[in-house]
Structure 1
Amino acid sequence: MKECTISIDAPDKILKGAGIPDSSFVPSGIYNIKIKFSNTGENSKICSFSSTLGNGIRYLKNFSLEGPDESLKSKLIVVEPNALLGNNNCIIFANNFILSPGSTNVLSFNVALCDRYTTGSVENSGDKIPHKEKINFFAHLIEGENVDSCSASSSAHDYEMKVMCQEENIKPGETTKFYVHCCTGQYDVARSVYIRSILDDGLEFVADSCNLEPRNVYKFNGKTVIKWDVGTLQPSETRRIGYMVKLRSDFNKESGTMLRNKLNSNCINNSEYTQCPSSCSYSLRVINT
């Protein structure tokens, strides 16, 4: 069993928005990547690592380190796309740093995603990165003759929908409020945006509780379906919709039952004339006592 291991934690979704190269424009989506280093052995280890970020990923600095081994942070080198080296990806590496016995170190830094792939070492110069395209990250840790490798992937988005709720639990007769965030990337206009919310049987929409009046509300197979026409979103715009739901007073399923609010949305990317579907969900735990 390897004593020294490495892993990458990347966001599930990355909304496109990395600014124009060499500009001061603030990206519309800044995300955090974490690389974890572990040494489960009883002795210190001298290690080296390298990590290749996905094509289109821009490194935005802001390094931080949680853990005992400060030498790791001091030895970090970042190589961005460079014609002399012939690389299209951002590469982060460090050589000959020490991992303490029984230690865990977590390296964090910020990234954003360009709209187009990097080709010929020129950032944001290639084909457009498609909506929902996988962006892959790789890393390798070398300790003597041992090599540990890992990977992670994120999904690139022109448009994204997220849902939040005031509560995690709900009792019969109680109400809670959902917030749906519709977000566009930095580069494109999203038009004909619509949202559909499907509430599990037992959850009901509270009339006149929404800041945007639904187009229609109806029952289907015991579930409540709510539909909104959101309209057009400009680049880097976020539109928030809040609405209340109630758990029926006569709901009598056992405590711990999970009821889900399942949402899906779609829009048209105005520059590419392609659809950009997005989906998410939120589960409420029923508490009967």
Structure 2
Amino acid sequence: MNDCKISIDAPKIFLKGAGFPNTSFLPAWIYKVKITLKNSSDFPQLCSFSATMGNGIRYIKKLQLSGPDTNIYDSVNIVEPTQSVGNNNVIIFANNFTLSANSENILSLNTCLCDNLTEKSIENSGAKIPHNEKIFFYGHLINGENVDSCSYVTKACDYKIQVKCEDNKICKDDTTKFYIECCTGQYDMVRSVYVRSILDEGLEFIADSSNMEPRNIYTFDKKTILKWNVGSLQPCEVKKIGYKVNINEANLENGLMKKGSILKNKINSNCINNSTYTQCPSSCEYELLIE
């Protein structure tokens, strides 16, 4: 049994926008990637690890370590794409460090995503990364004869939609507010943006509560549908839509709502990239727990 494990965690979506290297212009969208190293045994273990970032991912400094084993931080090397090595990916590795007994250490680093793939070790030199392209991360932890491997998949996006809420738990007859954010990549202008919110039965939209009133409001399959025409977004722009809902048992067919029920607000959106003339669909959801 392998007592030492490695895992990689990153955002599910990376908005593109790292731009070209060797400039003072900061990326608009910076994301944190975490590499976790665990030793579940009762004894210290001598280990080595390597983690390969997805093609197009750039390291933006600020490497940090949380955990008991500071020797890991002193051992870490980061190799960015360079022709002398011949790598198209950022590689993070450390050799011959000790993981203390029953420990968990987390390396975290700031990253961003280029607009184009890296080819021949030259960042941002290849084909444009398409919207919704999968970006793959890989990690390996060596402990004697044992090797633990992991992978992680994220998506590159020109445009994304996300939803937040003032509450994650709510009582019957209470009111809360949702916030939808439409976001573009650093070099992508989009047009014909529409947003649709699908409220579960029991979630009632409060009229005149939005900073941008929906173009359409209707009911389908016992759910309330809200639609907005947002128009165009400039590169690196964020447009927000806020609106209130309340929990209304009268909307339920049997007039009852159980404690612990989950009500969802499902968001989907689409637009057209003004440079590539391609569609950029995006979706997300928010779950409200009934107390």
TM-score band, normalised by shorter chain: over 0.9
The TM-score, its normalising length taken from structure 1, stands at 0.96
Match of 1:96 in 2: 96
CA-based RMSD: 1.1
Partner of 1:64: 64
- What is the deviation of 1:164? 0.5
3-state SS of 1:115 partner: coil
Q: Would you say the 8 A contact 2:19–2:124 is kept in 1?
A: no
Give the residue type in structure 2 aligned to 1:253.
M
- One-letter code of the match for 1:66? S
Q: Please name the residue that 1:117 is paired with.
A: 117
Who is 2:277 aligned against?
Answer: 273
Structure 2 equivalent of residue 155 of structure 1: 155
| Corresponding position of 2:52 | 52
Out of 253, 262, 267, the residue aligned to residue 266 of structure 2 is: 262
1:71-127 Cα shifts (integer Å, max 9, x gaps): 100111111111111111111111111111111111111110001100011101111
Does residue 1:181 correspond to 2:185, yes or no?
no
Q: 2:204 maps to which residue?
A: 204
1:33 corresponds in structure 2 to 33
Structure 1 residues 36-74: Cα deviation after superposition (integer angstroms, max 9, x where no partner): 111122222221111111000000111111111111001
Counting only pairs closer than 5 Å after superposition, residues 106-255 of structure 1 correspond to structure 2 as 106-250=106-250, 251-255=255-259
Q: Is the 8 Å Cα contact of residues 15 and 113 (structure 2) preserved in structure 1?
A: yes
Quote the Cα distance in structure 1 between the aligned partners of 2:17 and 2:121: 19
AA aligned opposite 1:216: N
Tell me how far 1:188 sits from its aligned partner.
0.7
8 A contact 2:20–2:123 mirrored in 1: no
The TM-score with structure 2 as length reference comes to 0.96
| Inter-partner Cα distance in structure 1 for 2:99 and 2:221 | 57
3-state DSSP of counterpart to 1:264: strand
Aligned mates of 2:69, 2:116 — CA distance in 1: 36
The answer to whether the 8 A contact 2:249-2:257 is kept is: no
For residue 42 of structure 1, give the secondary structure of its aligned residue in structure 2.
Answer: coil
Secondary structure, counterpart of 1:271 in structure 2:
coil
- 1:284 equivalent to 2:288? Answer yes
Unaligned runs of 5+ in 2: none
**Could you say which residue in structure 2 is the equivalent of 1:75?**
75
- Greater than 3 Å deviation, 4+ residue runs: none
Alpha-carbon distance in 1 for matches of 2:126, 2:196 = 34
**Segment drifting more, 254-263 vs 177-186:** 254-263
Counterpart-to-counterpart distance in 2, 1:146 and 1:175? 54
1:249 deviation in Å?
A: 5.0
Q: Structure 1 CA distance, aligned partners of 2:260 and 2:156? A: 35
**C-alpha distance in 2, partners of 1:233/1:117?**
24
Corresponding pairs, count: 287
| Letter matched to residue 278 of structure 2 | T
- Tell me, in whole angstroms, the C-alpha distance in 1 between the residues paired with 2:116 and 2:105: 33
CA deviation vs aligned residue, 1:157-198 (integer Å, no higher than 9, x gap)? 110110001112223322110000110001110111110001
Distance 2:47 2:269 in 1: 46
Contact 2:192 2:272 in 1 (8 A): yes
